[in-house]
């Protein structure tokens, strides 16, 4: 057995997800060499697991006939995910050779971040007048289905009537009518629903699969739990990226110049707001000159309050995304966050106040530092909680507006309060 054959045999024993993870540590030429050693069915699974940038590079290096053979081993929704990133000409060249081209084309018509964009056609359906025996035979006849534990019952026009779980189906009499066995309360979502809201529906109803319908309640496809897990991870990454003023997919899809151009407005806007903080410090330079130690505590107060504000913003943003925080109940969300923030502010204020009093040698300095920390952290918590709620109400992406502006605004207000109080208490600090 040659070296390549031995390597191919070893690769065949590794789970595609683990292999995709290992390929991230290889150079471009090395992971491409590994990819080319895989059998078509193995290459298909790896394509489904690797990150978007690696997938695009591997696909670009694969001739259309070979790529069509590889994608033939994937479900239509997974093949659509791979082809969706290709230019139209390259996509059509592959689709012309793909056996399930019709299903893939259908899925590509939906926005990638919608229910239609993440649904699959790998489900089993039956007519309302079909018998249980006919439905079981139909299930057995399907060559490739997702791990969905329901048979969806539709009318002659294709409208979703309900669903029959496999346990009920297998226990039913073979002549039982599917329309009579169906659960009519099956949760369903429209094809244009945003994928983040689809994930919230999954969480709310503890689902493993969710039918997607079009006009007239016509069954179009089914969203499965594995796709929702991918959505949750993707949305979480996007929210974290937005909090820092960036786009989650920028590192994979854009050049350094494009990335810099995208991030520059956020950086400049934050810099301008921070310049206001610098102006505030300049106004109180006399106070700082009198009590130089104040300057040592300003970055500590700024850092702790800024971190608290970002934590509050992240909690609210994830709550809005998952549906656990509702705009209509904003008072409840704000009150809970402010109660938490008050506890954090009191703890940090007391701790830093004691340090300040010991360091400076006067209790009044410790009181000033404690009050400054308490006020700044509470302000940061209020701003971090409010900005995402207001943004959501106005129709903006809460994650996109919260991060840089929240930190900069808190710096301006927190420093103003701290130095203003120091000026008022200056006679007691000398």
Q: What are the domain boundaries of the chain?
A: 3-109, 124-223, 244-429
DSSP 8-state class, residue 418: H
The angle at the Cα of 60, spanning 55 to 65, to the nearest 5 degrees, equals: 105
The pLDDT assigned to 336 comes to 87
CATH no. for 124-223: 3.10.580.10
* β-pairing verdict for 160-165 and 124-127: unpaired
Please, which pLDDT band fits residue 263 given cuts at 50, 70 and 90? low
Least Cα distance to 234 among 263, 206, 197, 196 occurs for: 196
Q: What is the mean pLDDT of residues 173-199?
A: 91
Q: What is the mean pLDDT of residues 388-395?
A: 78
CA distance 8 to 120: 31
Structure confidence by residue, pLDDT tens digits, 50-61: 877 788 888 888
* CA dist 341 → 136, 227, 264, 311, 370 (Å): 57, 36, 31, 10, 15
Residue that wins the pLDDT comparison between 374 and 256: 374
* Average pLDDT score over the chain: 82
Most confident of 73-87, 117-131, 219-233, 402-416: 117-131
Structure confidence by residue, pLDDT tens digits, 203-232: 888 888 999 999 999 999 999 988 888 787
Strand ranges across the sheet with 124-127: 124-127, 150-154, 160-165
Structure confidence by residue, pLDDT tens digits, 348-357: 999 999 998 9
Least Cα distance to 349 among 308, 392, 312 occurs for: 308
Q: Residue 407 pLDDT more than 70?
A: no
Please, which pLDDT band fits residue 403 given cuts at 50, 70 and 90? low
The pLDDT assigned to 246 comes to 53
Please, which pLDDT band fits residue 347 given cuts at 50, 70 and 90? very high
The pLDDT assigned to 142 comes to 81
Are 314 and 243 in contact by the 8 Å Cβ rule? The answer is: yes
Q: Residue 108 pLDDT more than 80?
A: yes
The angle at the Cα of 143, spanning 139 to 179, to the nearest 5 degrees, equals: 20
Least reliable range by pLDDT among 128-137, 294-303, 359-368: 294-303
Least reliable range by pLDDT among 18-32, 157-171, 254-268, 285-299: 254-268
Q: What is the mean pLDDT of residues 370-398?
A: 82
* CA dist 369 → 28, 149, 308, 359 (Å): 54, 61, 17, 11
Residue that wins the pLDDT comparison between 88 and 400: 88
Q: Residue 181 pLDDT more than 90?
A: yes
* Alpha carbon 108 to its chain's center: 21
Element of type H or E holding 223: strand 219-224
Q: Percent of the chain beyond pLDDT 90?
A: 23
The pLDDT assigned to 221 comes to 94
Please, which pLDDT band fits residue 74 given cuts at 50, 70 and 90? confident
pTM of this structure: 0.62
Helix, strand and coil in the chain, % to nearest 5: 70, 10, 20
Q: Residue 149 pLDDT more than 80?
A: yes
CA distance 22 to 159: 45
Are 124 and 152 in contact by the 8 Å Cβ rule? The answer is: yes
The pLDDT assigned to 240 comes to 59
CA distance 163 to 150: 6
Residue 45: other Cβ atoms inside 10 A: 20
Least reliable range by pLDDT among 25-29, 203-207, 280-284: 25-29
Residue that wins the pLDDT comparison between 229 and 162: 162
Least reliable range by pLDDT among 209-213, 220-224, 316-320, 367-371: 316-320
Q: Residue 253 pLDDT more than 80?
A: no
Q: What is the mean pLDDT of residues 198-202?
A: 89
The pLDDT assigned to 136 comes to 92
Q: Residue 243 pLDDT more than 60?
A: no
Q: What is the mean pLDDT of residues 96-119?
A: 88
The topology under which CATH files domain 3-109 is MgtE N-terminal fold (1.25.60)
CA distance 316 to 246: 19
Q: Percent of the chain beyond pLDDT 70?
A: 88
The pLDDT assigned to 397 comes to 64
Q: What is the mean pLDDT of residues 195-201?
A: 88
Residue that wins the pLDDT comparison between 22 and 224: 224
Q: Residue 21 pLDDT more than 90?
A: no
Least Cα distance to 234 among 252, 258, 209 occurs for: 252
CATH classification of 244-429, choosing from 1.10.8.80, 3.50.50.60, 3.30.420.10, 1.10.357.20? 1.10.357.20
């Amino acid at each position: 057995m040659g070296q390549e054959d031995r390597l191919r045999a070893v690769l065949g024993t590794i789970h595609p997800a683990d292999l995709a993870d290992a390929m991230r540590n290889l150079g471009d030429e090395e992971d491409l060499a590994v990819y080319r050693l895989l059998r078509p069915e193995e290459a298909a699974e790896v394509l489904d697991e690797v990150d978007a940038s690696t997938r695009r590079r591997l696909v670009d290096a694969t001739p259309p006939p070979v790529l069509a053979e590889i994608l033939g081993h994937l479900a239509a929704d997974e093949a659509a995910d791979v082809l969706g990133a290709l230019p139209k000409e390259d996509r059509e060249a592959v689709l012309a050779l793909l056996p399930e081209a019709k299903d893939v084309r259908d899925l590509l018509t939906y926005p990638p971040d919608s229910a239609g964009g993440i649904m699959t056609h790998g489900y089993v359906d039956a007519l309302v007048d079909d018998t249980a025996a006919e439905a079981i035979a139909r299930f057995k006849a399907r060559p490739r289905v997702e791990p969905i534990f329901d048979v969806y019952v539709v009318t002659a026009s294709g409208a979703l009537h309900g669903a029959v779980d496999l346990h009920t189906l297998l226990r039913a009499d073979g002549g039982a009518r599917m329309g009579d066995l169906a659960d009519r309360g099956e949760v369903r979502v429209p094809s244009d629903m945003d994928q983040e809201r689809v994930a919230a529906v999954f969480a709310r109803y503890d689902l493993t699969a969710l039918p997607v319908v079009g006009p007239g309640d016509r069954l179009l496809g089914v969203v499965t739990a594995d796709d929702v897990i991918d959505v949750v991870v993707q949305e979480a990454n996007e929210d974290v990226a937005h909090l820092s003023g960036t786009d989650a997919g920028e590192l994979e899809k854009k050049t350094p110049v494009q990335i810099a151009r995208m991030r520059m407005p956020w950086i400049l806007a934050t810099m301008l707001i921070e310049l206001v903080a610098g102006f505030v410090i300049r106004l109180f330079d006399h106070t700082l000159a009198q009590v130089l130690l104040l300057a040592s505590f300003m970055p500590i107060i700024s850092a702790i309050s800024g971190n608290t504000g970002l934590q509050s913003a992240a909690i609210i943003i994830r709550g809005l995304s998952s549906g656990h925080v509702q705009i209509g109940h904003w008072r409840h969300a704000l009150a809970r966050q402010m109660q938490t923030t008050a506890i954090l502010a009191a703890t940090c204020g007391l701790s830093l106040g004691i340090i300040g009093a010991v360091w400076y040698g006067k209790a009044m300095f410790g009181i000033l530092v404690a009050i400054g920390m308490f006020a700044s952290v509470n302000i940061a918590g209020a701003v971090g909680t409010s900005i995402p709620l207001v943004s959501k109400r106005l129709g903006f992406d809460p994650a996109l507006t919260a991060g840089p502006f929240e930190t900069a605004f808190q710096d301006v207000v927190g420093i103003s309060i701290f130095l203003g109080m120091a000026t008022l208490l200056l006679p007691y600090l000398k």
